[in-house]
Amino acid sequence: MDVLNRVPVREQEPQVRAANFEEVCLGYNEEEAKAEAARCLNCKNAQCMKGCPVSINIPAFIAQVKEGNFEEAYHIISQSSALPAVCGRVCPQESQCEGKCIRGIKGEPVAIGKLERFVADWARENDIKPKKAEKLNGHKVAVIGSGPAGLTCAGDLAKLGYDVTIFEALHEAGVKLILMRCAGFNNVDLKTAAKYGIDVRRVPGYSPEAVAEHAMTLAMTVNRHMHKAYTKVRENDFSLGGLMGFNFYQKTAGIVGTGKIGAAMARICRGFGMKVIAYDVYQNESLKDFVTYVTLDELLAQSDLISLHCPLMDSTYHMINRESIKKMKDGVILVNTSRGGLVKTDDLIEGIRARKFFGVGLDVYEEETPNVFEDRSDEILEHSTTARLLSFPNVMITSHQGFFTEEALRAIAETTLQNALDFEAGKETPNIVRA
């Protein structure tokens, strides 16, 4: 057996696949799978597991494939992955598990993805299912949506003993309440929800201070170049080149949106000795002792620091664009901790290149969905605009972490639960969202 080269995978002939829509790759049969599994070195310190996003025990399941114990291999995979048939087909194994395979140093890596696919397909063909919880815990859970995330969540909850039901068409299943664990509601079709009598409740103020403090942290970071200073000093470079900032004291802060988070940011800016102006369709009376409300154009023209704190709606989508950027002061600092869609990224990049901004701080951005809460340190970002933003020395991007404090997480859980209890009791609350 040639251990340096993987067992070839059978494929449809070109003339055959040209006339159908079946999978081109036919996968391994049992003998091919066992032969490929025999190439695995069964490393004690398995680097392949470090490359797997869900930490499948790869050496263990491959060892079972080698011995022909396909059912046991399936159960090992199922401990970590709910969708092995899908992952075996679409995961980028070449940059994940197989990219770390020791066998690949002097030959071809073990075909981990093809073996995972084989095991999953064999289990389906033989009606093998993941092991159930020994007993139910008495709690019922509804999972909304049957996409990969929903199915994975449902599977993991079922393993823990929950009685899980998946809903795709909510109203047909009798769903009457959607509980949002965030302030934003742009991902919910409010008109359709209202049409079918579905109540939508959010968590509008789980810790406004947490987000506002993060917004000011971003502003201070790009102003005083803290990200640069940290790197320079760690390399024993104590020079001051490239670290010049400016005082916030007596400068003008423009707050777009003065709900709870915007109000908290306004108070922080006041504490820095800044003049605070604001724009909002609905003015916050509690701020009028120190905040001056102006038009959006006036705010753009007067502000040294602009901080966005408004929801994403049709009226606010791409409110920061080429035209609004032109109206800003030269050398302005822009901070966004609200929703990425408020800023048209291509226009922002154009403004950065034109040296319109002293600095830009972003906790949210348009192309963040594949990145949020994920470790992609070993990957190449496929989204060019995100990569371009990261290339600018005066841009600071964080991981959608503005909310991430102990106090905020506790408040989210408590408010979400209270929203459910209020709905059950028939109480109207300010947390209800309507079209």
Residue type, 10: R
Burial 216-249 (b: 16+ CB within 10 A, else e): bbbbbbbbbbeebbeebeeeeeeeeeeeeeeebe
Structure tokens at 263: 């109000």
**Side-chain-facing half-sphere of 88: CA atoms under 13 Å:** 24
Reported in sequence order, the residue ranges of 119-269 that DSSP labels E, i.e. its strands, are 140-144, 163-167, 177-179, 199-201, 252-256
User: Cα separation of 363 and 307, whole Å?
Assistant: 11
Q: Which of 368, 374, 406, 414 is catalytic?
A: 368
Does residue 339 carry a catalytic annotation? Answer: yes
Q: Please answer whether residues 222 and 359 qualify as being in contact, where contact means their C-beta atoms are separated by less than 8 angstroms.
A: yes
Nearest-Å Rg of the Cα atoms of the chain is: 27
CA distance from start to end of the chain: 66
Q: Which of 6, 209, 339, 366 is catalytic?
A: 339
- Residue 418, number of CB atoms within 10 A of its CB: 15
Burial class (CB in 10 A: 0-12, 13-18, 19+), 18: exposed
Does residue 400 carry a catalytic annotation? Answer: yes
User: Cα separation of 92 and 7, whole Å?
Assistant: 19
Give the largest Cα separation in the chain, rounded: 82
Residue with tokens 């795709």: 168
Q: Which of 367, 400, 428, 434 is catalytic?
A: 400
Among 9, 45, 47, CA closest to 29: 9
Q: Please answer whether residues 337 and 399 qualify as being in contact, where contact means their C-beta atoms are separated by less than 8 angstroms.
A: no
Three-point CA angle 224, 222, 263, nearest 5°: 105
User: Cα separation of 76 and 195, whole Å?
Assistant: 45
Does residue 368 carry a catalytic annotation? Answer: yes
Residue type, 21: F
Which residues are known catalytic residues? 339, 368, 400
